[in-house]
């Protein structure tokens, strides 16, 4: 079964509810029909929320989560009526399994809504993103068909601690979304000291901290892309590496490299990019590219539903 087929099958088994926040967009309306046709239940918002009985509860949630703002009841109701905030609020209240927005809303606004109404998971300080890249031709004969690229949409210039959080979130979500064991490579223009520079040191430190925090996950860094993905190259450049050219989670040193990489692989290698998937939130809310297609929205909704599964379940 293909990754996409497995994604939809496992998401449908959850019988979850997805809030689509931008129902006035024809792509979102068509995606809602497809999701409701077998993937899960759908709440479709087609503009400012005025008559929904849950509006006051979402407004109260926004006030509770930001008491320092001193919002009046009227102000809170006005903010809650925004469909993206309302969608996030339904997830924050537990009224829906996941929310999806971004077809016409910027990533920054989607992330702000998610952070306000849902918030980060316990112990998480950095909310980030990942793309799941389904390759037309696997990088190795034995796979993987799908690579996790992280972070490609949210954190512009992560420090070592943020890179660790990004990698931990991506590894955790990969188990839920792809269903295999994560093998994590912290990418750089250097492999194990072959070059020097501030970004190399930052990546190397992140890899060291990650290995200490998650010793059960195969990981290494700093690694160049070929040492992360090609076993024969890994034998020469990084002999004895726990990754050994088998990486399926690629942690990029900054947003420039991650965003460029996923778009180049998508366009030049004809890979299918599912995402950006927000990771590190207490409950799932997904972002969309504004160039999204109907199939992309359905795939992202399925992925967000799978993020709701407890990792040890």
Tell me, yes or no, whether 252 lies in a domain: yes
178 shares a domain with 233: yes
Q: Per-residue pLDDT for 9 more than 70?
A: yes
Give the chain's end-to-end CA distance (angstroms, integer).
23
At 30, which CATH number?
3.40.50.10950
Across the beta sheet with 218-223, what order do the strands follow? 218-223, 183-187, 249-251, 146-150, 128-134, 272-279
105 shares a domain with 229: no
101 shares a domain with 186: no
Q: What domain range is 65 assigned to? A: 3-119+283-307
Residue 270, pLDDT score: 83
Q: What are the residues facing 223 on neighbouring strands?
A: 187
244 shares a domain with 136: yes
Per the CB < 8 A criterion, the answer to whether 98 and 15 are in contact is no
Three-state SS annotation for 121-184: CCCCCCCEEEEEEECCCCCCCCCCCEEEEECCCCCCCCCHHHHHHHHHHHHHHHHHHCCCCCEE
Q: What are the residues facing 129 on neighbouring strands?
A: 278
Mean pLDDT of 61-67: 92
Mean pLDDT of 67-83: 90
- Helix (H) or strand (E) run with residue 277 in it: strand 272-279
Alpha-carbon distance of 57 to 188, in angstroms, equals 46
111 shares a domain with 243: no
C-alpha angle 279-114-124 in degrees, rounded to nearest 5: 45
What's this model's pTM, rounded to 2 decimal places?
A: 0.89
Count the domains in the chain: 2
Q: Per-residue pLDDT for 313 more than 70?
A: no
> How do residues 177-197 score in pLDDT, each as one tens digit?
998 999 999 999 999 888 888
Residue 143, pLDDT score: 63
Q: What are the residues facing 89 on neighbouring strands?
A: none
Q: What are the residues facing 147 on neighbouring strands?
A: 133
139 shares a domain with 261: yes
228 shares a domain with 209: yes
- Report CA-CA distances (Å) from 143 to 42, 65, 251, 289: 34, 44, 18, 27
Q: Per-residue pLDDT for 79 more than 60?
A: yes
At 144, which CATH number?
3.40.50.10750
193 shares a domain with 140: yes
Tell me, yes or no, whether 278 lies in a domain: no
Identify the residue whose tokens are 């890994």.
234
* 3-class DSSP state of 279: strand
Tell me, yes or no, whether 253 lies in a domain: yes
- Both tokens of 39, joined, read 């993937």
* Other beta carbons less than 10 A from residue 59's beta carbon: 23
DSSP codes of every residue in 185-203? EEE-S-STTSS-SHHHHHH
C-alpha angle 120-153-60 in degrees, rounded to nearest 5: 35
209 shares a domain with 77: no
Which residue in 41, 21, 153 sits closest to 85, CA to CA?
21
Residue 276, pLDDT score: 87
Q: Per-residue pLDDT for 233 more than 70?
A: yes
* 3-class DSSP state of 95: coil
161 shares a domain with 61: no
Tell me, yes or no, whether 108 lies in a domain: yes
* Other beta carbons less than 10 A from residue 293's beta carbon: 14
259 shares a domain with 143: yes
Tell me, yes or no, whether 277 lies in a domain: no
Mean pLDDT of 220-244: 93
- Both tokens of 210, joined, read 């990650």
Per the CB < 8 A criterion, the answer to whether 227 and 187 are in contact is no
Rg over CA atoms, the chain = 20
Which residue in 108, 115, 118, 103 sits closest to 46, CA to CA?
103
68 shares a domain with 170: no
Residues in the chain: 313
């Amino acid at each position: 079964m293909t990754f996409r087929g497995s994604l939809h099958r496992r998401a449908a088994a959850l019988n979850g509810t997805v809030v689509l926040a931008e129902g006035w967009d024809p792509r979102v309306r068509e995606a809602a029909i497809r999701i409701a046709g077998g993937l899960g239940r759908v709440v479709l918002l087609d503009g400012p929320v005025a008559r929904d009985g849950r509006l006051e509860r979402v407004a109260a949630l926004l006030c509770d989560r930001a008491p320092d703002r001193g919002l009046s009841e009227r102000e809170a109701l006005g903010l809650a009526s925004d469909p993206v905030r309302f969608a996030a609020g339904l997830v924050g209240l537990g009224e829906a399994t996941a929310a999806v927005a971004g077809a016409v809303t910027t990533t920054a606004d989607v992330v702000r809504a998610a952070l306000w109404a849902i918030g980060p998971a316990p112990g998480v300080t950095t909310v980030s993103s990942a793309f799941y890249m389904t390759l037309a031709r696997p990088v190795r004969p034995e796979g993987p068909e799908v690579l996790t690229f992280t972070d490609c949409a949210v954190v512009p210039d992560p420090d070592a601690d943020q890179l660790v959080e990004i990698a931990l979130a991506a590894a955790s979500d990969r188990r839920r979304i792809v269903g295999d064991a994560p093998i994590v490579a912290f990418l750089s223009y250097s492999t194990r000291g072959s070059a020097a520079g501030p970004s190399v040191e930052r990546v190397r430190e992140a890899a060291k901290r990650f290995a200490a925090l998650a010793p059960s996950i195969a990981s290494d860094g700093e690694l160049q892309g070929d040492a992360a993905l090609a076993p024969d190259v890994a034998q020469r450049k990084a002999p004895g590496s726990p990754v050994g050219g088998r990486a399926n989670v690629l942690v990029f040193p900054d947003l420039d490299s991650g965003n460029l990489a996923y778009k180049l692989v998508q366009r030049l290698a004809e890979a299918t990019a599912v995402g950006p998937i927000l990771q590190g939130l207490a409950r799932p809310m997904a972002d969309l590219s504004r160039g999204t297609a109907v199939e992309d929205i359905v795939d992202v909704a399925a992925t967000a539903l799978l993020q709701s599964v407890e990792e040890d379940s």
